[in-house]
Structure 1
Amino acid sequence: MDRNQVLKKCGLDVLGFCPGTALKEEKAYLLDRQAHFGLCKYEGQNIEERLDPSLQYSPVKSVLVFGINTKTRPIQLKKGQGLLAGISRIPDYHILLKEAGNKLCGILELEDQAKVLVDSHPLMERAFAQRAGLGYIGKNTALIHPVYGTYLALGLILTEKIFPYDKEEKGTCGSCNLCIKACPGGALKGGGILDPGACLSYQTQTIETSPGQVGPRLYGCDVCQEICPKNKEVPLTRLEQVVDRGINKEEIQDLSNREFKKRYGHLTGAWRGKKQWMENFKSVEAYWARKSKE
C-alpha cells in the first residue's frame, strides 16, 4: 500500500494505524477531569465508551485514524463583526471526513468489515491519533502533528482487519506554557488538563453563554492554536469555499432558519443553527461597545 497515493485518492492529509484495544492511561485523566470539572456534554458521559473501540464495533482489531488540514488565513475584523474560528469557516469537515472515510474503506477493501466514525461517537480521537503515530497531545489538549500542528480534523475507522501498526508518538511541549498563559477563559490548567466549561470555544456552542463573556467570537476560539510555536509553519488547507471575513449581524438576523442553512449550512460552524449565532452576537455587540469607549 502506497500511503501517499491512498491519501491523494481520498483527499486526506494524514493516515495512521494502531491496535483496536482499549486505551488505558487515559482513564485516570478522564476520571480526574470528571471529578474536578465534569465532562463536556458533547463528548459522551460514559468513560468506558470513550476508551474502548469494541463498545462501538465489537469485532474491532485495528483503528485507522485519518484527517484533513484545517489551517486558514487569519482575518481582520471590521467594527461590529463577529469572528468565526478557522475550523468554523471551512466546509463542514464532518461531511468531508465521512466521504473520505468511505472512500478509504473502498480502497482498502473494508466495506463489510469496518465502521466509519466522525464526531458522532464518544471515543478519544486524539488519543488514538497519538497511538497511531500522528503526533502527541500538547498542553493545549490538542493533537500536535509534525507538519500540520494542531490544525487537523480527525475521523476514525474501526475494522476487524489487521494492519501493520505505526509507532506511537511520545513527544512533549517541553517547558513551553504559552497556550496556558494565553487562554482567554483560563481553561488550560497545565499538565494537559482542560476545564471544558471555561473554554470559550465550548461556550460559543452553548445557548447559555452570558453576553460579553466570549468577546468578538461568534463561534469557536483559536487563541491556543495561534500562540503555539508548532503552528508557525503549517501550510494552509487545500479546501475551497473558506469564509475569509467576519460576519455582520445584519446579514443573518432577518434570515429564516431555512435561509440561514442555505447560505451558511455548508460551514462547520453553522451546525448549531442561526439561534446560536444570534445569541452569540450579544457578546459580540458588548465587545464592540466596550472597544468604542476605550
Structure 2
Amino acid sequence: MYPSLKDKIITASQELGIDKIGFTTAAPFDHLKNSLEEQKAKGHTTGFEHPVIDERLYPDKIFEHPQSIISIALAYPSRIKNRPKSVRGEKRGKFARASWGIDYHHILEDRLQRLITFIKTECILEENLNFKPMVDTGELIDVAVAQRAGLGFIGKNGLLITEEFGSYVYLGEIITNIPFEADQPKENQCGSCTKCVDYCPTSALLGDGRMNATRCLSYQTQTKGYMPEEYRPKIRTIIYGCDICQEVCPFNKGKDSHFHQEMEPDPEIVQPVLIPLLSISNREFKEKFGYLAGSWRGKKPIQRNAIIALANARDKPSLPHLLKCIEDDPRPMIRGTAAWAVSIIDPKNIEILTFLNEKILKETDDETILEFQKAITRMNEAFN
C-alpha cells in the first residue's frame, strides 16, 4: 500500500500547491551533532534556533515511533514584476526576497495541512496514523531534511539549492509513522566556487555550509537593540534580511518563480519609502506590514534599520525627521541611532552639533549616551 500511496502523494502534491517533494527516513541526523555543539560553543548561534540540540537531530525525541519524514519546497519570486514609482529625492528601503508576499510560515503551514488531509483521505481505513508538520520554527533542521530527502544539496552558503528553483525556496516537513521508501540524498555541487563566501560583506560564511550566524546581516537586521556600528554601512538600504549570498550564486542565475499568488510582492510594501517609517504608528505598521514575515519582530528593528538606511544613502531631506526622532521618540535606541545617522549625513552642520550637545544632557541610558558622544566626536573631528 505505501509504495502506491507515495506515488499518489507525489502526483497530488502539484495540485496541492507544492513545487517539490521528497521522502526520507526518520533516522537521526547525528552526523551534525559535533558541528552544532561546536557552533554553539563558539557563539556562532543567534538564539533564534531551537534550543535543544538533540531534539533537532533525533526525530524520536519529538515524535512517537517516527518512520519517515516528508520534505516539501515552495519556490518564491526573485524579481519584482512592477517596480515602485520613483520620485526624485525619495529614498526607499528594501525587504529581502524571503519576506515578499504573505508570511511564508502561513503558506507552508497551509500546504502541509493540505498534504496531511490528502494522506488521511487516502488512508481512511487506516488507524493510528500520526503526523507532525513544521516549518523553520520547528525542531528539525529544514535544509538537512530536504537534502536527505533528495530535494537539493546544501550549498556553501548553508542554503538548500534545488535544480529547478535554485535556493529561492521555502522548506517544510512532516514527520509521520508511515514507512515510506526513502529518496536518494543530493551531494554538494558547489565544486571550487566560493562566490557566496567571497561576497559575504561580513565574512559570516565559513565555507563549508556553516556560518557565524551572529555576523549574518539577515540576523543583524532582526535584532532589537543597537546594531553594532561595524554592520551599519554594510546593510546599505536593506531594512530586513540579506540576499547577497543568493544573488551571487551561479545556481540562481535566471531563477524567478511566480507560481503562488500569495508570494507576489507589493512593490510599495517591500520597497517602502523610508522617511514615513520613522513616525509610523503601531497600528499603521501592523496594517501595512503585518502580513510580511519581516514584521515578526515588530516595528522597532525596521525603524532602526530605516534610520541606518537613510544614513547610508546620505539623505539630507531626512535630517528634520531624524532630529524629530532625537527630540520626541521615547525609545533610547531610536534616539541614539538617529544621533549617529545625522552625524553621518551632515557631519559639518554646526546647528546639528549644538542640538546633539543639548540633547545628550537629557539621556540616562549608557549605550545611548555613548552613541551621542561618538556622534559629537565625529562632528567635531569633521570641523578640524
SS in 2 for 1:59: coil
Cα distance in 2, alignment partners of residues 233 and 7 from structure 1? 25
TM-score normalised to structure 1 length: 0.92
Change (3 A) 1:276 1:259: same
User: Residue 23 in 1 paired to residue 29 in 2?
Assistant: yes
Cα distance in 2, alignment partners of residues 101 and 82 from structure 1? 33
User: Residue 181 in 1 paired to residue 204 in 2?
Assistant: no
Shift of 1:53: 1.6
Q: Name which of 129, 138, 141 aligns with 1:121.
A: 138
The C-alpha deviation readout for 1:137-188, integer Å capped at 9, x for no partner, is: 1101111111111111111111111112111111331000001010011101
Q: Name which of 239, 248, 255 aligns with 2:260.
A: 239
Structure 1 contact 90–242 (Cα < 8 Å) conserved? yes
SS in 1 for 2:166: coil
Please give the residue correspondences for 1:92-131 in structure 2 after superposition, counting only pairs within 5 Å: 92-109=103-120, 112-131=129-148
The alignment covers a number of residue pairs equal to 293
Cα distance in 2, alignment partners of residues 239 and 146 from structure 1? 19
Between 104-113 and 151-160, the greater mean CA deviation after superposition: 104-113
Structure 2 contact 84–267 (Cα < 8 Å) conserved? no
SS in 1 for 2:36: helix
Q: Name which of 249, 263, 266 aligns with 1:228.
A: 249
Instruction: Give 2:283's aligned residue.
Output: 258
CA RMSD of superposed structures (Å): 2.3
The C-alpha deviation readout for 1:214-251, integer Å capped at 9, x for no partner, is: 22110000000000000013232323341335211334
Shift of 1:104: 0.1
The C-alpha deviation readout for 1:41-93, integer Å capped at 9, x for no partner, is: 11123211111122222221111111211232066996521111011122111
Q: Name which of 125, 129, 140 aligns with 2:157.
A: 140
Between 222-231 and 56-65, the greater mean CA deviation after superposition: 56-65
Q: Name which of 151, 156, 166 aligns with 2:183.
A: 166
Cα distance in 2, alignment partners of residues 108 and 190 from structure 1? 40
Normalized per residue, the structure richer in strand is: 1
SS in 1 for 2:24: strand
Instruction: Give 2:72's aligned residue.
Output: 66
Between 118-127 and 211-220, the greater mean CA deviation after superposition: 211-220
Instruction: Give 1:285's aligned residue.
Output: 310
Identity of aligned residues (%): 32
Q: Name which of 73, 83, 87 aligns with 2:94.
A: 83
Cα distance in 1, alignment partners of residues 210 and 131 from structure 2? 32
Between 214-223 and 27-36, the greater mean CA deviation after superposition: 27-36
SS in 2 for 1:126: helix
- Could you list the runs of 5+ residues in structure 1 that have no partner in the other structure? none
Cα distance in 2, alignment partners of residues 101 and 138 from structure 1? 25
Cα distance in 2, alignment partners of residues 182 and 171 from structure 1? 20
Cα distance in 2, alignment partners of residues 222 and 67 from structure 1? 19
Between 116-125 and 236-245, the greater mean CA deviation after superposition: 236-245
Structure 2 contact 311–345 (Cα < 8 Å) conserved? no
SS in 2 for 1:158: strand
SS in 2 for 1:190: coil
What letter matches 1:104 in structure 2? L
Q: Name which of 58, 75, 87 aligns with 1:52.
A: 58
Structure 1 contact 132–166 (Cα < 8 Å) conserved? yes
Change (3 A) 1:195 1:146: same
Structure 2 contact 135–142 (Cα < 8 Å) conserved? no
Structure 1 contact 70–90 (Cα < 8 Å) conserved? no
Cα distance in 2, alignment partners of residues 220 and 17 from structure 1? 30
Cα distance in 1, alignment partners of residues 224 and 155 from structure 2? 29
Cα distance in 2, alignment partners of residues 229 and 243 from structure 1? 27
SS in 2 for 1:63: strand
Between 86-95 and 68-77, the greater mean CA deviation after superposition: 68-77
What letter matches 1:219 in structure 2? Y
Instruction: Give 2:43's aligned residue.
Output: 37
SS in 2 for 1:262: helix
Cα distance in 2, alignment partners of residues 166 and 37 from structure 1? 35
Between 24-33 and 68-77, the greater mean CA deviation after superposition: 68-77
Cα distance in 2, alignment partners of residues 70 and 43 from structure 1? 23
Cα distance in 1, alignment partners of residues 47 and 55 from structure 2? 14
What letter matches 1:37 in structure 2? G
TM-score normalised to structure 2 length: 0.71
Structure 1 contact 73–244 (Cα < 8 Å) conserved? no
Structure 2 contact 221–241 (Cα < 8 Å) conserved? yes
SS in 1 for 2:178: coil
Q: Name which of 201, 212, 227 aligns with 2:218.
A: 201
- Could you list the runs of 5+ residues in structure 2 that have no partner in the other structure? 1-6, 316-343, 347-384
